[in-house]
Structure 1
Amino acid sequence: MTAKSPNTGAGWLDPADDAPELTDEMMEVAEFRIGDKVIRPATGYLGPNGVVRGRPPSRDRAKQQVTLRLDPDVIEKFRAEGPGWQGRMNEALRKAVGL
């Protein structure tokens, strides 16, 4: 009969061991969910120096959201160039009006 050797593997390491400790400040701005249902939306984000509330500040003047109807082929052309198509469209409009 052969004897079973004991498990000599390194064992299981918890991948969360390197995760930072959650602070009360982080919990104050965190989004809470139960399944797919949002119980409380997030009220900030984690910036380089900790928790920052609200949307990240704009380097320039804040942009304005508008509703604009454009021909489908114009939109398809910009989207075909990949991510950042809205920014490229903004640059094309700036150039068109001489800014």
Structure 2
Amino acid sequence: MKATLAVVVYVECCGPVVRIISARKATKHEANDMSKVSKTDWKRLEKLKDEQIDTSDIPELGDDFFARAELHVPPKQAVTMRLDVDVLNWFKAQGQGYQTRINKLLRAYMLEHQRRHA
């Protein structure tokens, strides 16, 4: 069985609504990171009953959470944009998905300004 590793980026904002900004297939680098040998004792963990696992720092997401959750995928629009060469080169040097990273950075900036001026 072959599994596909996906990276989901989301922001919980605007009250109870969860807004998914982007989901994508993991890059080769990310997938390779996941293929490294784990030091976790999986056999021991597999034997644990649910009640034996401390989840106090990660409370379960109940039915009410998923009942309120909404999927919003903002439409994308191709644009021509002039960026400083060193800025663009820096983002490109981070690997595949540099445009998505630029978009996430701009979205975070926009959301922060909206929050401050609301």
Question: Considering only CA atoms, is the larger Rg found in Structure 1 or Structure 2?
Answer: 1
Same-fold status (TM-score > 0.5): no
Higher helix share: 2
Provide the TM-score with structure 2 as the length reference.
Answer: 0.32
